[in-house]
Amino acid sequence: MLKAFLTGDELDGKELNYLLELAELFKLKKFDFKPLKGKKIVLLFQKPSTRTRVSMEVGINELGGYSIYLSQSETQWSRGESMADTAKTLSLFFDAIGARVIEHKDLEDLAENAKVPVINALSNRYHPLQMLADLFTIKELKGKIKGIKIAWIGDGNNVCNSLILGASKLGSHLIISSPKGYEPSKEIIEKAITYSKRSLGSIKLIDEPKEAVKNADIIYTDSFISMGMEREAEERLKAFLPKYQVNSELLSLAKKNVSFLHCLPAFRGREVTGEVIDGDKSEVWRQAENRLHTFKAFLCYIFLKKKKLDNLFKKVS
Ligand code: CP
Ligand code: NVA
């Protein structure tokens, strides 16, 4: 069983592909399958959420499990109880812990001390559940991930980091276009170079967005001011705007059938114009829906034995 899913890097290319196929079953075939019967999962959130929380709650419920949502302010964590003690306590009551934290280190402490799997529901550094939905959406739209050119425009943030880790294992061509000082971390880029060599993909950093989107199949952006970075708002907007905004002009430089992705929430007029996110190339609602299907696949993956999963495949595909 996967002990923790903190970055997205815990899964190799084969496992990712398997999960995406499983998610396809959940999306395309409506079947009554309750493998989580009797399983209890706690969702411990330190920051707001719309999509992650609801996809997790609905997904757990649809698979027959039971979830409890705890915001940090309602727990003793808000009064300084350590992550270690929190993890030990929650492990007594639950079969898994989903957590959204400000500092990734808190998630690592949680995982180190928990006796049950810990699932990252977003940290300042990674967003692996989002990555599963992103890869699934790209495959759904383009028929494959290998060879697909993904242009990430803007902040090299948590969503970008996990996407890079996953997409580079599946052979996509990643182009990252961020202002100086806002690129994804060196460690992630180095990993992606190694993974891309194996998967026959590639990763490049190109400062100029107009250059980066040339021939792109996918253009992806995220907020320039992530949760917790509000204090840096002014300097960030100065660094990103107007150059890194995804607008119609930028879109017109990509492939004709380019698709626009955004993990949401979006801030129209900043990282993307309303014309683009509400336009015909935008696939953000498909992407948001896919959070549910991929999370259900992920839950089965962590709770079911491989043999049981293979049987499920045979039965419904
Ligand atoms: N994409 C995403 O994680 O959205 P929420 O912050 O609404 O969960
Ligand atoms: N990068 C954004 C993602 C929100 C889902 C943030 O961390 O706020």
Residue spans per domain, the chain: 4-126+291-316, 130-287
Among 130, 155, 173, 217, the one annotated catalytic: 130
134 CA distance to ligand 1 middle (Å): 12
DSSP 8-state symbol, 29:
-
Does 291 qualify as catalytic in the annotation?
yes
Alpha carbon of 314 to ligand 1 centroid (Å): 33
pLDDT band at 219 (very low <50, low <70, confident <90, very high): very high
The model carries a pTM of 0.97
Q: What pLDDT is attached to residue 127?
A: 98
Name the residue among 231, 254, 23, 65 with its Cα closest to residue 149. Answer: 254
Q: How confident is the model at residue 29 (pLDDT cuts 50, 70, 90)?
A: confident
Question: Is the sign of the CA dihedral 156, 161, 167, 168 positive or negative?
Answer: positive
pLDDT at 191 over 70: yes
Q: Write down the architecture of domain 4-126+291-316 according to CATH.
A: 3-Layer(aba) Sandwich (3.40)
Q: Could you tell me the CA-to-CA distances from 140 to 28, 134, 144, 242, 309 in Å, in that order?
A: 11, 10, 7, 31, 21
Q: Known catalytic residue: 46?
A: no
CATH topology identical between 4-126+291-316 and 130-287: yes
Residue 124 predicted with pLDDT over 80: yes
Distance CA 120, CA 45 (A): 10
Statement: 130-287 belongs to CATH 3.40.50.1370? yes
Residue 238, token pair as written in the block:
């100065």
Q: How many whole angstroms separate alpha carbon 26 and alpha carbon 21?
A: 9
Q: Work out the angle at residue 136's Cα, subtended by the Cα atoms of residues 2 and 294, and round it to the nearest 5 degrees.
A: 45
Q: What angle do CA 238, 242, 245 make, to 5 degrees?
A: 115
Most ligand 1 atoms within 8 A of CB, residue of 289, 291, 295 to mutate = 291
